[in-house]
Amino acid sequence: MKRVYPNKDVCIGCHICELACITAHSQSKDLILAYTVERGQNGVSSCKHVYENGPTCVALSCRHCDEPACVAACISGALQKDPETGRTVYNREKCVGCWSCLMACPYGAIARHPLEQKIVKCDLCFDRPGGPACVAACPNKALKQEER
Amino acid sequence: MLFQPINRNYHDFTIVRDKDLCINCKVCVRQCSYEAHYWDETRQKVMADNAKCVGCHRCEALCPTSAILIQKKHSDFKDNALWRPEFIKYIYKQADTGGVLLTGMGSPVNIPIYWDKLLLDASQVTNPSIDPLREPMELKTFLGCKPDKLEFSKTKDGSPKLKTKLAPQIELNYPIMFSAMSFGSINFNLHIAMARAATELGICYNTGEGGLHKSLYKYGKNTIVQVASGRFGVHRDFLNAGVGIEIKVGQGAKPGIGGHLPGVKINEMVSQTRMIPLGSDAISPAPHHDIYSIEDLHQLIFALKEASEYRVPVSVKIAAVHNVAAIASGIVRAGADIVAIDGIRGGTGAAPGMIRDNVGIPIELALASVDQRLRDEGIRNRASIVAAGGTRCSADVVKAIALGADACYIATSALIAVGCTLCAKCYTGKCPWGIATNDARLAKRQNPEVAAQKMVNLVRAWGHEIEEMLGGMGLNSIESLRGNRDKLRAVGMTDTEMDILGVKHAGR
């Protein structure tokens, strides 16, 4: 399947992917409203986080593993592997907020929702026409969605 | 501001932030390597220190909400035709530091730009123009010594065979090359990008005086290696790595002085390639200490030809200065296969501002006088001429070729293609666009893949435009334009200028 791969050699640590992610997952789809209003009101937050160590930066999000530890750990069946698309799908309705997946994920790619007893996880912008927002926004082509 | 010299507030730019658009996301804070933007913990918002802004526009370009506007500071000294603001600021700065005014990039001062006063011809009625989209158009260029005449012998079956032994040539698909920018002055990412772009385009890039990193030897077929007065990174393998060797005698931005690479830019990789200690300043001597005459130059040219077993042409690069025509004649007679001339508007990574803005002559005049002199002396075929310094667009290339150049070196244009905004602070090593810096954090801003593509696109685009202009003039080969000054007309020039350029005034 096509996954989003970060390239740490050219990731410049600008965090624009995070802004794109917040916007793509907001109701308004408007960066200014998403960041200044919705972030506080309904807790929209980025599924992707840029980690830095010295000059090295890398933007990490769910890797949609072939054998996801989070799915195995999920006690409510909220996390499932979609056999067709290969995505690791999150069903918000089923999630009980037990944080089992958070602890199971070896990449630290799942975060707690800031306001609710839910998680925040990359959905590969499956319903966005141009593909993942982070990939489209990266100013240095450090994020690529491709088959590897 | 408190605790600062009082002239600190005579800065050049003002950062204007639109309050309705700014979301305090700190992208600008992370992008500005001069720390002009900062996060104010007390006010909980992004603030700016205008005095630190160099006008590179990186923040403006990356601001996701377009909230930032970089403007010239609207504070004027009292009008004075003599004491213009730049001179006042220079004096304030030097009164504080006691140092030479350093700068980067090509000269921004108002020296006449003859490209703008030259107009091209086009065919009408009596001679047909050519459509390059439908008919073949030749841009292929060969650089090197051409024979005085061709001799043929007959083979057994009676067909002719070339008897004349041809000198080595550099073959280019476009009459354009990437000019010398040393590894160190620009970083490795851009060196790979240039090498890849040159390979894809079938042209050459020049290593500059900083040697060639081992990993780039594989791009040798599209590389010209440079030997300058500092001899940084010069050894046998290096001399044999490319398809041409260039002796750099002078540089248009700083005629009469050698290269300057501040120690902060010498990292591990640069130090290895240049064969100098880590962190040491790389200051090239002003002259080559083994060249004090044309005879000495002759010796060096042939030493390099020996070292490379006469496989590659040797170029000599000089800055355009007063007696450039006589100097070029000497260079050709000394055995150079290519003469590269760098005009006063040529770029640099670091040069004293006074020298950059006041020493040398415009490339247009230098090029025309060199071409004419070599023709008059009957030695024009013995060397190709490459024009450098301030080639901004494809029309400049066409005009340079009509004035007598075989090819143009471009460097500033190539850097602008990858983001450079000519803020002219290359010498600080903090280039926010990741170009003139070896800081790992900043150098990453140039993704070699993206940069190579942009350079390729630029040269391809120019190639299309050159073909269009050639076709319009009724020519189907760049060779037919070389030194064809009849295709040029001058507007608003004096008789002396037209005489030097060898062109008629428009209307004649």
- Over residues B470-498, the pLDDT tens digits come to 999 999 999 999 999 999 999 999 999 99
Domain membership of residue B16 as a residue range: 6-99
Tens-digit pLDDT profile for residues B59-85: 999 999 999 999 999 888 999 999 999
A21 — pLDDT class (breaks 50, 70, 90)? very high
B138 within a domain of the structure (yes/no): no
CA distance B393 to B337: 26
DSSP string, B155-183: -TTS-EEE-SPPPP-EEESSSEEEPP--B
pLDDT beyond 90 at B394: yes
Please enumerate residues of B whose Cβ is less than 8 A from a Cβ of A: 21, 23, 25-27, 30-31, 62, 64-65, 434, 439-441, 444-445, 447, 449-450
| Pair B191, B42 in one domain | no
In degrees and rounded to multiples of 5, residue B75 shows phi and psi of -135, 115
**Which among B130, B132, B231, B223 is positioned nearest to B178, based on CA atoms?**
B223
Number of domains in chain B: 2
A4 — pLDDT class (breaks 50, 70, 90)? very high
B368 within a domain of the structure (yes/no): yes
CATH number at residue B319: 3.20.20.70
- State the pLDDT at residue B74: 84
Angle at B182 between CA B178 and CA B187, to 5 degrees: 95
B69 within a domain of the structure (yes/no): yes
CA distance B216 to B219: 6
The proportion of chain B whose per-residue pLDDT surpasses 90, expressed as a percent, equals 95
Nearest CA in chain A to B438: A55
- State the pLDDT at residue B112: 95
CATH number at residue B86: 3.30.70.20
- State the pLDDT at residue B1: 60
Residue B96 CA neighbour count, 13 Å, CB half: 11
CA distance B360 to A148: 54
Cα first-last separation, chain B: 61
pLDDT beyond 90 at B465: yes
Give chain B positions within 8 Å (CB) of A139: 62
Nearest CA in chain A to B440: A55
| Pair B178, B316 in one domain | yes
CA distance B176 to B462: 9
All structural domains of chain A, each given as residue ranges with its CATH number in brackets, are 1-61+122-143 (no CATH), 66-111 (3.30.70.20)
- State the pLDDT at residue B8: 85
pLDDT beyond 80 at B114: yes
B136 within a domain of the structure (yes/no): no
The proportion of chain A whose per-residue pLDDT surpasses 90, expressed as a percent, equals 99
Q: In degrees to the nearest 10, what's the CA dihedral of A9, A10, A13, A17? A: -120
Q: What is the mean pLDDT of residues B418-426?
A: 96
| Pair B93, B196 in one domain | no
CA distance B36 to B84: 26
Give chain B positions within 8 Å (CB) of A14: 27, 30-31, 62
**Secondary element (H or E) of residue B375:** helix B363-376
Q: Could you tell me where the beta strands, DSSP code E, fall in B327-463?
A: 338-342, 351-352, 384-388, 407-410
Decide if A36 touches B, using CB distance below 8 A.
yes
**Which among A31, A72, A60, A32 is positioned nearest to A122, based on CA atoms?**
A60
B33 within a domain of the structure (yes/no): yes
Indicate the residue of B30, B439, B440 with minimum beta-carbon distance to A15.
Answer: B30
CA distance B493 to B393: 21
ipTM for the assembly: 0.92
Cβ contact B35:B18 at 8 Å:
no
B217 within a domain of the structure (yes/no): yes
What is the least distance, in Å, from the CA of A22 to any CA of chain B? 12
Bridge-based pairing of strands B223-227 and B205-206 is parallel
| Pair B389, B304 in one domain | yes
- State the pLDDT at residue B4: 81
What is the least distance, in Å, from the CA of A107 to any CA of chain B? 24
- Say if the Cβ atoms of A15 and B25 lie within 8 Å: yes
- State the pLDDT at residue B451: 98
**Secondary element (H or E) of residue A80:** strand A79-81
DSSP string, B451-479: HHHHHHHHHHHHHHHHHHHHHHTT-SBGG
Return the amino acid letter for B269. M
| Pair B182, B304 in one domain | yes
Q: Given B60, B83, B99, which residue is the final one in a domain?
A: B99
CB pairs < 8 Å spanning A and B: 49
B30 within a domain of the structure (yes/no): yes
pLDDT beyond 90 at B2: no
What are the Cα distances from residue A131, in Å, to A6, A113, A124, B252? 15, 23, 7, 48
The token duo for B212 is 């060639």
Q: Given B99, B128, B143, which residue is the final one in a domain?
A: B99
Give chain A positions within 8 Å (CB) of B449: 141
Longest dimension (CA), chain B: 93
Give chain A positions within 8 Å (CB) of B25: 15, 19, 35
A49 — pLDDT class (breaks 50, 70, 90)? very high
CA distance B103 to B349: 8
Residues 6+ away with beta carbon under 8 Å from B495 = none
| Pair B70, B212 in one domain | no
B438 within a domain of the structure (yes/no): yes
The token duo for B474 is 């009724």
| Pair B86, B173 in one domain | no
pLDDT beyond 90 at B7: no
| Pair B92, B238 in one domain | no
Q: Specify the 3-state DSSP secondary structure of B115.
A: helix
The token duo for B203 is 């042209």
Mutant choice from B30, B187, B431 vs A, greatest count of A C-beta within 10 A: B30
What number of other Cβ atoms are within 10 A of residue A16's Cβ? Answer: 24
What number of other Cβ atoms are within 10 A of residue A54's Cβ? Answer: 7
pLDDT beyond 70 at B306: yes
Location of structure tokens 């010299």: B5
| Pair B256, B357 in one domain | yes
**Which among B52, B3, B8 is positioned nearest to B29, based on CA atoms?**
B52
Residue B463 CA neighbour count, 13 Å, CB half: 21
What number of other Cβ atoms are within 10 A of residue B147's Cβ? Answer: 13
Residues 6+ away with beta carbon under 8 Å from B55 = B12, B13, B70, B421, B423
Q: Given B79, B99, B119, which residue is the final one in a domain?
A: B99
